[in-house]
């Protein structure tokens, strides 16, 4: 093992070691400033008040009307053997929303017609207590969220059989985990292949209606997640330097999320290849002259999310060429904040941004022709092949397990599933007060996509392929913040903006 002394000098030696490729062990040192003492009291929150869960279930019963609702909580998910599960355990968000409890192995049953609510689950036994410690009984957990009845897991079969024999509707949500698919097969005899189409559209629509508009207490949680997100991203900016691996920065970012909240809200993206949409951190070494893209978010202890992206120069200073592209993305990001408000379709905000981006790319000579026609043809998707944003809440892509067409669209606004790029829009519907959406424009130079469109001549009247060819080594830029729709406009979530104006980014990186 040997040390790169220049790295230790750059990073201000401490006692932190990390293994980079097995053939080239390097010792890297963590700057002392990286993790300030946590103000933990800001982040310790319990579940919401009992009344919140009671009121939510009352509203759900009214919206669904009749039948039996079965909300499956999640089970532990084995990683490489049954007792070594993915950590930390993540409860299903809809179960959390109505039943609040974070333990595995629970199911919530709401018999609407007879007004009976039951928390179904087994108490843990002494063998488990020895290993994991004592946890609340199912009875206590039910009481904490205002549920009157409990039942052991084996009675779930009886509950389903009785309802089916009486030809009553059983409302369940489309399952996304295989163990729950087996459970539904066992309980209701519906084959996993049919479970999605047999899932209750009434229940989906009712939950989407309720979870889309965030209440004051939920917004407080989202603000808390934003504070952790700020710490994650500023940590990435502090650690990013030539000679450090992507994985080192990504791992430290994850550690911040784990230290203050429950976990990351999705696997952290940290890469010099910003043009790869979900580029997870690799063992590649950060190089001067490149850009690093960091897309990362936190979940609070109560499972509310943040989702931000920043792109910054590895050496702390933008080149002229980087600045030209970055400034376009920056102005697209800021344009959203001017346009988004109740009554406006996010579809229209997306396309306003696409047109603005096209105008600016024309000024740089990367695009050409009539802007309206170029955007109608989908030419902008060469640079922005995804939507402007998505709903965010307890899930980073909120309720995406219900299918985006049921969450981000409605009867009035339908998705376009044909056009490349536009078919990736996750959110198009009219905005309402209390909605939380992400604002995440980007410009990417994807060599394989450039080659494909160039070879086929796709959109050749709108794209200057000769100039584009010289950008194949550029990478990609995205800037993302989370937007709360207010009564007459919108605002960013998070009191402190993670630096994104070029001067702010450069100053932050120079001084931290």
Closer to Mn ion by CB, 57 or 397: give it. 397
Q: How far is the CB of 116 from Mn ion (least distance, A)?
A: 40
Question: b vs e for 373-411, b when ≥16 Cβ sit within 10 Å of the residue's Cβ?
Answer: ebbebbbbbbbbbbbbbbbbbbbbbbbbbbebebbbbee
Q: Which is nearer to Mn ion, 293 or 374 (CB)?
A: 293
> 424-449 as b/e, with b when 16 or more CB fall inside 10 Å?
bbbbbbebebbbbbbbbbbbbbbeeb
Report the alpha-carbon angle 282-284-287, nearest 5.
135
Return the range that interacts with Mn ion (CB under 5 A); candidates 299-307, 317-325, 446-454, 469-477. 299-307
**DSSP string for residues in 47-109:** PPPHHHHHHHHHHHHHHH-SSEEEEEPP---EEEETTEE-SS----HHHHHHH----SSEEEE
* 308 touches Mn ion (CB under 5 A): no
200 touching Mn ion, by CB under 5 A: no
Query: Hey, what are 481's tokens?
Result: 């913040």
Quote the CA–CA distance of 358 and 382 in Å, as a whole number: 11
CA separation for the pair 367, 465 (Å, rounded): 9
- Residue 308 CB, nearest approach to Mn ion (Å): 8
Taking the least distance from each CB to Mn ion, the nearer of 110 and 253 is 253
Smallest separation (angstroms) from Mn ion to the CB of 348: 20
Give me the least distance between CB of 83 and Mn ion, in Å please: 34
SS3 content of the chain, % helix, strand, coil (to 5): 40, 15, 45
The CB-of-148 to Mn ion minimum distance in angstroms stands at 39
Q: What is the DSSP letter of 470?
A: T
Q: Least distance in Å: CB of 437 to Mn ion?
A: 10
Would you give the binding string for Mn ion spanning residues 355-374, x where CB under 5 A is met? Answer: --------------------
CB 123 within 8 A of CB 129: no
Tell me which stretch binds Mn ion (CB under 5 A): 144-152, 300-308, 352-360, 453-461. Answer: 300-308
Which range, of 122-130, 194-202, 302-310, 315-323, touches Mn ion by CB under 5 A? 302-310
Nearer to Mn ion, 241 or 273 (CB): 273
Cβ of residue 198: shortest distance to Mn ion, in angstroms?
31
342: Cα within 13 Å, side-chain hemisphere? 8
Host H or E run for residue 170: strand 170-171
Give the H/E segment covering residue 312. Answer: strand 308-313
Q: How many residues bind Mn ion (CB under 5 A)?
A: 2
Instruction: State whether the Cα torsion 410-413-419-421 is positive or negative.
Output: negative
- Position 307 contacts Mn ion (CB under 5 A): yes
CB of 143 or CB of 223, closer to Mn ion: 223
Closest to Mn ion by CB, 170 vs 392, is 392
Query: Rounded to the nearest 5 degrees, what angle is found at the Cα of 429, between the Cα atoms of 423 and 430?
Result: 155
What's the token pair of residue 434? 């209390």
For residue 295, the minimal CB distance to Mn ion (Å) is: 7
Minimum separation from the CB atom of position 214 to Mn ion (A): 16
CB-nearer residue toward Mn ion: 101 or 401:
401
Q: Report the C-alpha gap between 117 and 106 in whole angstroms.
A: 13
User: Applying CB under 5 A, which part among 230-238, 304-312, 340-348, 373-381 lies near Mn ion?
Assistant: 304-312
For 236, the 3-state DSSP assignment is: helix
Residue nearer to Mn ion on the CB measure, 117 or 440: 440
- Chain residues 109-138 in contact with Mn ion, contact rule CB under 5 A: none
CB of residue 396 to Mn ion, shortest distance in Å: 7
Least separation in angstroms between CB 194 and Mn ion: 32
Q: Map residue 477 onto helix, strand or coil.
A: strand
Least distance to Mn ion, CB of residue 304, Å:
15
Stretch that binds Mn ion, among 96-104, 193-201, 242-250, 303-311 (CB under 5 A): 303-311
Task: Please say which residue, 246 or 307, places its beta carbon nearer to Mn ion.
Answer: 307
Pick 184 or 349: Cβ nearer Mn ion: 349
Q: How far apart are CA 25 and CA 210, in angstroms?
A: 52
Q: What is the 3-state secondary structure (H, E, C) of 367-429?
A: ECCCHHHHHHCCHHHHCCCCCCCCECCCCCCCCHHHCHHHHCCCCCCCCCCCCCCHHHCCCCC
CB of 483 to Mn ion, least distance (A): 11
| Rounded distance between C-alpha atoms, residue 167 and residue 173, angstroms | 19
**Residues of this chain, 404-443, that bind Mn ion according to CB under 5 A:** 438
Q: Which stretch binds Mn ion (CB under 5 A): 192-200, 305-313, 379-387, 422-430?
A: 305-313
200 versus 271: smaller Cβ distance to Mn ion: 271
Residue number, 32 or 497, with CB nearest to Mn ion = 497
Q: Which is nearer to Mn ion, 422 or 438 (CB)?
A: 438
Site of interaction with Mn ion (CB under 5 A): 307, 438
């Amino acid at each position: 093992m040997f040390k790169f002394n220049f790295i230790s000098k750059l990073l201000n030696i401490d006692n932190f070691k990390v293994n980079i490729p097995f053939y080239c062990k390097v010792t890297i040192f963590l700057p002392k400033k990286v993790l300030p003492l946590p103000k933990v009291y800001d982040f310790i929150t319990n579940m919401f008040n009992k009344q919140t869960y009671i009121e939510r279930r009352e509203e759900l019963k009214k919206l669904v009307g009749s039948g039996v609702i079965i909300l499956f909580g999640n089970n532990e998910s084995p990683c490489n053997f049954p007792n070594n599960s993915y950590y930390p355990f993540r409860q299903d968000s809809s179960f959390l929303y109505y039943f609040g409890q974070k333990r595995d192995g629970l199911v919530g049953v709401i018999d609407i017609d007879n007004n009976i609510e039951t928390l179904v689950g087994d108490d843990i036994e002494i063998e488990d207590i020895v290993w994991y410690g004592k946890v609340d009984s199912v009875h206590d957990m039910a009481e904490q969220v205002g549920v009157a009845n409990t039942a052991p897991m084996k009675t779930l079969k009886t509950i389903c059989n009785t309802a089916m024999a009486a030809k009553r509707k059983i409302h369940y949500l489309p399952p996304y985990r295989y163990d729950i698919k087996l459970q539904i097969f066992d309980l209701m005899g519906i084959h996993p292949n049919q479970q999605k189409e047999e899932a209750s559209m009434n229940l989906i629509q009712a939950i989407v209606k309720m979870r889309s508009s965030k209440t004051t207490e939920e917004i407080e949680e989202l603000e808390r997640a934003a504070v952790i997100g700020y710490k994650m991203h500023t940590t990435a900016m502090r650690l990013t330097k030539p000679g450090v691996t992507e994985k080192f920065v990504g791992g430290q970012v994850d550690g911040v999320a784990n230290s203050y909240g429950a976990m990351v809200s999705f696997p952290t993206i940290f890469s010099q290849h910003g043009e790869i949409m979900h580029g997870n951190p690799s063992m590649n070494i950060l190089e001067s002259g490149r850009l690093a893209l960091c897309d990362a978010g936190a979940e609070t202890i109560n499972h509310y999310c943040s989702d931000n992206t920043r792109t910054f120069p590895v050496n702390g200073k933008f080149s002229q060429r980087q600045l030209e592209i970055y400034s376009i993305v920056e102005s697209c990001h800021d344009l959203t904040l001017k346009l988004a408000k109740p009554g406006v379709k996010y579809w229209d905000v997306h396309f306003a941004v696409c047109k603005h981006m096209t105008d600016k790319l024309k000024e740089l000579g990367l695009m050409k022709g009539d802007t309206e026609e170029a955007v109608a043809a989908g030419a902008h998707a060469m640079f922005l092949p995804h939507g402007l944003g998505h709903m965010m809440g307890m899930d980073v892509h909120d309720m995406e397990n219900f299918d985006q067409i049921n969450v981000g669209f409605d009867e009035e606004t339908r998705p376009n599933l044909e056009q490349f790029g536009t078919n990736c829009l996750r959110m198009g519907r009219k905005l309402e007060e209390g909605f939380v959406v992400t604002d995440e424009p980007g410009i990417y130079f994807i060599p394989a996509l450039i080659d494909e469109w160039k070879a086929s001549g796709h959109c050749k009247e709108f794209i200057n392929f000769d100039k584009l060819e010289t950008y194949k080594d550029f990478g990609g830029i995205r800037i993302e913040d989370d937007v709360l729709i207010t009564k007459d406009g919108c605002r960013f979530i998070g009191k402190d903006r993670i630096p994104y104006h070029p001067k702010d980014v450069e100053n932050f990186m120079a001084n931290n």
